[in-house]
Structure 1
Amino acid sequence: MFHFKSLGRAILGATLVLAMQGAVSAQIFKGETAGVGDPVHTMFVAFANQAGKSGVEIQVNAGQTLTKSMLKGAKGDIDFFSTVPSLVNLMAGQKRMYEKIEGAPELAKNIRAILGFKAGAYHPVTLAGSGIESWEDIKGKTVFTGPPAGSASATSEALIKIITGYVAGEDYTAVRLSWGEGYAALADGKIDMMVRPAEIGSANIERFGLSGEFRVLSIPEDKVESEEMQALFGRPGRGMLQFEGDVYKGQLTEGEITALGFTQFVGTHAGVDDDVVYEATKAFWENLNEVHNTAFFLKDVTKDTAFTSVNVPLHPGAVRYYDEAGIAIPDALRP
């Protein structure tokens, strides 16, 4: 005999199960990345968009300083973030911006990677008429080198010193502003040069050629093989990159430009559920064609480059996907 009482219990049980499933799928994960227009932002948003298709909803907070985002990720305050391989070593060694962070080396052990990618190159940009046509012309000039709290400014100033011997604050004035302020300052003539990490073919760099002419300084050939430059190229997340100068309209440096390349990775922390990271990773790689259509530079993101410059263990959820997909994982990256 059919009992309405039994039916009621069944419906109640099913309702509870659905409610629990809804609560899980409705969870929103916190993510942080750089500002709009930055290749790191483009990549992170592409990752978040694909993750959303698998039910992993990532709320993206853009315009953040990556040094701080990685620290928040290591603490478990956010779930996903963009970061720089070199920052991992600084946190693990409790150096520079992490010098006063209590327990920084232990926090660094919480960082996990999902995938790495080639982000672009440092662009030393100066407008026509600035008086800067070579690196030596920087002497006595004002140069935007990056934000106050990031690692880019130190890298830019190191690059200038290796090439010219010039020291920031002595031979030239180094200005540290937000990225947006740096662009505006160059456009308004308030600074003489800007050193900006950007993807090759960046619209933000290209815009200086739409209303005039500009120059991207190339690393001199005689400096490329120097011990100091090779050491800079060899740092985590760095390397030499070359591209044709005519990729930008109105760009005055002829021929091939040699630049300091940079790589990034999409990170998370050890406390994020394995299933969540698995689904997000799987969704990204299974929708790679859509990712490639997001931006020109993302066409270089392939399964063969998945571990580019990654220098922390992969998250177990990401490992599960790569193993299932038959993608060989370096032993050093297995958690």
Structure 2
Amino acid sequence: MTSRFSRRSFMGTTAAAAFVAASMPRGAFAAGPDFLTIGGGPSGGVFGIVGTAIASMLSQIFPDSIIDVQPGGSGPNLLRVGAGKADLGITSANNALDAWEGRDPATPESPVRNVRGMMTLMQSAIQIWVDARSDIRTLEDLRGKQVSAGQPGQTSWLVFENLLAAAGMTPGDIEANGGKLHPLSWAESQEALSNGQLDAVMWLSLWPHPTILQNETVRPMRTLSFDGAVLEKFLGESGGGFERVTLPAGLFGGQDEPAETVGTNTILFAKADMPDDIAYDIVKQLWENREDLYAAHSLLKHMTEETVGKGMVVPVHPGARKYFEEQDIAVGDSALGT
């Protein structure tokens, strides 16, 4: 396991997560590692909240371990675990596939293949949010509008470019006739959408994201539904790690009809060389106490017996596979590395 850690980071994480050793019998678990580093996300964000919850739960079975949660994100977490600077991380399945194949966030010279899937936590989907009263109904309707899709180089920006290409469009089409594709952060994008400065925000996002629900205190929101032919072209040309998803009517206050889109899974992954017994115990603890995860964030309630072992894209860790098979939980196999 990792042997380097920031004590300042650890102390802050300890206070935030309130690590308290539980009274469960230690004999049921393998001896814990000296250090366990988890790649989460920015403070207050979903990945950060989930990473902290996981750390708190693992401290109950590894009370003598120093558990450190680091800020990161889908790409940075893959790079850190791949480089041996973290033991566990949270990422999106499409990012994991890109890293494996030497695309963003990895370099072609350094594909990240020494990672293994542990469990699927929740699902993200390509979403373009607009005021429910807007006349924007299709990608074509974004021409001449004020739009944000994150910042150049970020996952959402790249996915948006690929989605536009599947529809025969480019960012330049949006910027015709006074439109603009604004390179804004998540917080900036959502604030501008809420106050009417933006007509639309596109993001590869968890659903239903709490920020979008919060925006509805100002204006009703809905997300666009995409043409089936466009989605199939996206999946065929640049959709590795994605699958068709239907977002239900009523997801947002202004969502009167289902929205057809594509999505990817958010997964917990580990170093390939994590001992099998440690990986087994981690998955066992998180799954058997999943109500604690559900309580940490409402988006985790979508993790079920039907989803937890599937859709990780990268090979599943042998320790995780052993646990799932003992519980008769279906495990999705990966063609990578075979």
Same fold (TM over 0.5): yes
Whether 1:195 aligns to 2:202 is yes
Q: Which amino acid aligns with 1:228?
A: K
When normalised by structure 2's length, the TM-score is 0.76
Distance 1:42 1:306, change over 3 A: same
Q: Which amino acid aligns with 2:160?
A: S
SS of match in other structure, 1:82: strand
- How far is the alpha carbon of 1:201 from its aligned partner? 2.9
Q: Which residue of 1 aligns with 2:143?
A: 139
Distance 2:264 2:45 in 1: 13
Q: 2:308 aligns with which of 306, 319, 325?
A: 306
- The answer to whether the Cα contact below 8 Å between 1:79 and 1:268 also exists between their aligned partners in 2 is yes
Cα RMSD over matched residues?
A: 3.1
- The answer to whether the Cα contact below 8 Å between 1:39 and 1:198 also exists between their aligned partners in 2 is no
Q: 1:287 aligns with which of 286, 289, 298?
A: 289
Q: Which amino acid aligns with 1:258?
A: E
- How far is the alpha carbon of 1:73 from its aligned partner? 0.7
Moved more, 195-204 or 291-300: 291-300
Distance 1:322 1:57, change over 3 A: farther
- The answer to whether the Cα contact below 8 Å between 1:67 and 1:149 also exists between their aligned partners in 2 is no
Distance 1:275 1:333, change over 3 A: farther
- The answer to whether the Cα contact below 8 Å between 2:166 and 2:230 also exists between their aligned partners in 1 is no
Q: Which residue of 2 aligns with 1:169?
A: 172
Structure 2, unpaired ranges of 5+: 1-30
When normalised by structure 1's length, the TM-score is 0.76
SS of match in other structure, 1:246: coil
Q: Deviations over 1:201-244 (max 9, x none)?
A: 32211122112233322224xx3476414526x83432222233
Q: Which amino acid aligns with 2:159?
A: T
- The answer to whether the Cα contact below 8 Å between 1:115 and 1:307 also exists between their aligned partners in 2 is yes
- How far is the alpha carbon of 1:114 from its aligned partner? 0.7
- The answer to whether the Cα contact below 8 Å between 1:143 and 1:174 also exists between their aligned partners in 2 is yes
Q: Which amino acid aligns with 1:60?
A: V
Q: Which residue of 1 aligns with 2:87?
A: 79
- The answer to whether the Cα contact below 8 Å between 2:138 and 2:226 also exists between their aligned partners in 1 is no
- The answer to whether the Cα contact below 8 Å between 2:91 and 2:267 also exists between their aligned partners in 1 is yes
Higher helix share: 1
Q: Which residue of 2 aligns with 1:29?
A: 36
Q: Which residue of 2 aligns with 1:92?
A: 100
SS of match in other structure, 2:261: strand
- The answer to whether the Cα contact below 8 Å between 2:43 and 2:49 also exists between their aligned partners in 1 is yes
- The answer to whether the Cα contact below 8 Å between 1:242 and 1:256 also exists between their aligned partners in 2 is yes
Moved more, 234-243 or 208-217: 234-243
Distance 1:99 1:137 in 2: 35
Q: Which residue of 2 aligns with 1:155?
A: 159
Distance 1:255 1:333 in 2: 36
Distance 1:91 1:212, change over 3 A: closer
- The answer to whether the Cα contact below 8 Å between 1:31 and 1:59 also exists between their aligned partners in 2 is yes
Distance 1:122 1:133, change over 3 A: same
Q: Deviations over 1:160-215 (max 9, x none)?
A: 3434x320134333333332232223234443211123333322111221122333
Q: Which amino acid aligns with 2:107?
A: E
Distance 2:333 2:105 in 1: 30
- The answer to whether the Cα contact below 8 Å between 1:145 and 1:157 also exists between their aligned partners in 2 is no
Structure 1, unpaired ranges of 5+: 1-23
Q: Deviations over 1:66-116 (max 9, x none)?
A: 21220111110111111222233333332344336x4x13xx221111112
Distance 1:271 1:184 in 2: 43
Q: Which residue of 1 aligns with 2:131?
A: 127
Whether 1:61 aligns to 2:70 is yes
Q: 1:228 aligns with which of 228, 233, 240?
A: 233
Moved more, 292-301 or 128-137: 128-137
Aligned residues: 301
Q: Which amino acid aligns with 2:40?
A: T
Distance 1:177 1:57 in 2: 36
Distance 1:48 1:303, change over 3 A: farther
Distance 2:219 2:153 in 1: 32
Q: Among the aligned pairs, what percent are the same residue?
A: 22
Larger Rg: 1
